[in-house]
Amino acid sequence: MGGIFSKKERSTQKSSAPVSDQDNAILALKTQRDKMKQMIKRKENCMEKERQLAKQLLKDGKKDRALLILKKKRYQENMIDQTLKHLSKIEQMVNDLEFAEVQQRVTEGLRQGNEALKKMNQLFDIDEIDRIMEETKEAAEYQEEISNMLAGQLSNTDVSDVEHELEELLAAQGQQVELPEVPSHELPEAETEKQREKEKPRREKVALEA
């Protein structure tokens, strides 16, 4: 019997082994990463709704609002991508390095991840985004709020990509991007060349008669 109790005691001691700070940190990072992925999956339809909303705004002749919505969508995509990469990198550091060396960075990474989740909860509010279609004071304030939030957040490449996406939406609706009008009359150079061609046979005829 003594042997049986000894086995139970050893088993209990093994199962109740203390959880280290490193274990807790890894668990927290994985939990946060999973929450982020779940949110991305749930909100994919929201970003598609924003694209459809941009199409409707273009149909209504509200190009500036459509561009604002596409910029917001791009910002969300960037934030999701950066946050996931950040979490993945820190998780790898925790696994590969001594925890004491990266503890501060892990704490900072968790803090940034929590802030990103909060921001995404605000950005992805599907009920709020519909307000941009309205012609009210509250809608105007909402548009200004989005503009202020996006100020300085998108790179030149991001802006260029967003404008390209806007042009694609316009093209899909059969609208043409405004281009300078082509003159209906011939350019002076063309007219001069044409006159020369007309006068050439006349000059040749005079030369033969001479």
Residue 98: give the domain boundaries: 20-173
Residue 186 lies in a domain: no
The sign of the CA dihedral 120, 122, 123, 127 is positive
Residue 60 lies in a domain: yes
Residue 6 lies in a domain: no
Q: What is the pLDDT of residues 180-198, one digit of tens each?
A: 454 454 544 444 455 555 5
Q: What is the pLDDT of residues 50-95, one digit of tens each?
A: 888 888 888 888 888 888 888 888 888 887 787 778 777 777 776 7
Count of structural domains, the chain? 1
Q: What is the pTM for the complete model shown?
A: 0.54
> What span, in angstroms and rounded, lies between the C-alpha atoms of 82 and 168?
26
Residue 190 lies in a domain: no
Q: Is 29 exposed, middle or buried (0-12, 13-18, 19+ CB in 10 A)?
A: buried
Residue 1 lies in a domain: no
The CA–CA distances, whole Å, from 8 to 17, 19, 23 equal 14, 20, 25
Residue 100 lies in a domain: yes
Which tokens hold the place of 107?
């704490």
